[in-house]
Structure 1
């Protein structure tokens, strides 16, 4: 019996093997690999298989994990001790400062890469943003830098061009291409 993760890998292979149209908008160059949040660990365990499939079709692979984004941002924050004393004071900083931190982290990966038009930028652990900032805001700040393809490992759901992260927050409509099991 084939696992859901195997089906995702097979469906991803079909997409990554296609010729790439470079005339798409930045939003249309985004792929959402959509899977049930309960499958997240299984999918992350197979991350290397996604990279291997990408390289099989002579595409470059860049990976950015957002798993530690919030703790790293908080550890570097000038007022972190004050925020721990009064957590309600951090809300404005999270909505702007943390989002900017995440965007810059991904942009730095993009800027340090070569041959971007032939590269899959894989962004995993976007669930670490949940409850802090909206993934849609981060992507809106990034799509103009997307020269190749951006693969978002998305634990959530997709229905009728509408995405919901972690099956909880109201979703948003996005031009990205879904890859489902």
Structure 2
């Protein structure tokens, strides 16, 4: 079996488990962690993940944020200046983008039917501008069903930390990791 098939099967197995209702938003986040070089294959497998979700009796919603930074930047009133001098993108300006991105994700989560799986695609596109940990923590309280984060990076099971694109120090987060190699008990 391929690594992608293994990930889809692990996701299907996770869907078969009973969902606990009395868990925090952070515990309603599922991280599907895979090596960054599999990004295109994971995106190609989205219909399989969606089919597994609907077969398990849940609604499937895909939220792709891959282009959000580019759209936001191109519509910014100082876009030309940022293109000419990228160092002008200060943290306070990037915080504006984070606020807009978080609002978009929260809006999708709040509009989702009860028991839906919202799949967050393209989280790697926010690197190096934002931290995935900050975005995920900012939206987890709005998760009613489950938030499936397609996470190109690494997960360290010993410290339960995640590294987006294996580029920064990891962040510890209480999300459930979907891993074909772990025991689902």
Q: CA deviation at 1:85?
A: 3.0
1:40-79 superposed matches below 5 A: 40-79=39-78
1:1-181 superposed matches below 5 A: 2-113=1-112, 115-116=113-114, 118-159=115-156, 160=158, 161-181=160-180
Q: CA deviation at 1:84?
A: 2.2
Coordinate RMSD, CA, aligned: 1.2
Local SS of the residue matching 2:4? helix
Q: Deviations over 1:92-123 (max 9, x none)?
A: 2443111112111212222333x23x110100
Query: Contact 2:60–2:119 (CA<8 Å) still a contact in 1?
Result: yes
TM-score by length of 1: 0.94
Inter-partner Cα distance in structure 2 for 1:37 and 1:86: 28
Structure 1 residues without counterparts, runs of 5 or longer: none
Number of equivalences: 178
Task: Give 4+ residue runs of structure 1 displaced > 3 Å after superposition.
Answer: none
Structure 2 residues without counterparts, runs of 5 or longer: 181-185
Inter-partner Cα distance in structure 1 for 2:14 and 2:101: 27
Inter-partner Cα distance in structure 2 for 1:126 and 1:93: 20
